[in-house]
Amino acid sequence: MPLKPDDTVCFCFHVPLRKIEAFCRIEKPAVPSQISDCLSAGTGCGWCVPMLKQIHRRMCPGRGPWWKSDINSSTDTAGAQPQSVENGAPADPQRSDQNVDAAAYAAGRQTYIASGQGKPPAEKTSG
Ligand code: FES
């Protein structure tokens, strides 16, 4: 089940799918890392980075660095399993925006943090 528009994609900065899709539609980022300009998504623990890459691929087809043009070609995405941008291996289905529900995605992030793979940013304190 795909994420819904109001489901959170980046928990560190509380960024929902709706905001990231709107950012991609309007700004058309050339590379996934530019999505960090959308409320700092992806700049905390790193859990959501594979998801941001998948959203970028879906929302900005044909956009990407020239040296990865084969990855962004339109022929490799129709009906195919998500692939890792880095090594071509199957992407983690728990972090694919089309294959995971919000609860499983959130639980996966908790496991990710608990295993020490990523550190969330410090909470802001008022005062
Ligand atoms: S969940 Fe997005 S950086 Fe941590």
The pLDDT of 15-21, averaged and rounded, is 97
Per-residue model confidence (pLDDT) at position 2: 84
The pLDDT tens digits for 84-113 are: 333 333 456 566 667 788 999 999 999 999
pLDDT at 123 over 60: yes
Classify the phi-psi angles of 65: left when phi > 0, otherwise alpha if psi is within -120 to 50, otherwise beta: beta
* Distance in Å, CA 120 to ligand 1 centroid: 7
Q: Look up the pTM and report it.
A: 0.76
Alpha carbons 106 and 100: distance in angstroms, whole number: 10
Ligand 1 and 44: CB distance under 6 A: yes
Backbone dihedral region of 40: left (phi > 0), alpha (psi from -120 to 50 degrees) or beta? left
In the chain, domain spans: 8-65+87-114
Residues in the chain: 127
Judged by phi (left if over 0) then psi (alpha if -120 to 50, else beta), residue 46 lies in left
Q: d(Cα 54, Cα 1) in Å, to the nearest integer?
A: 15
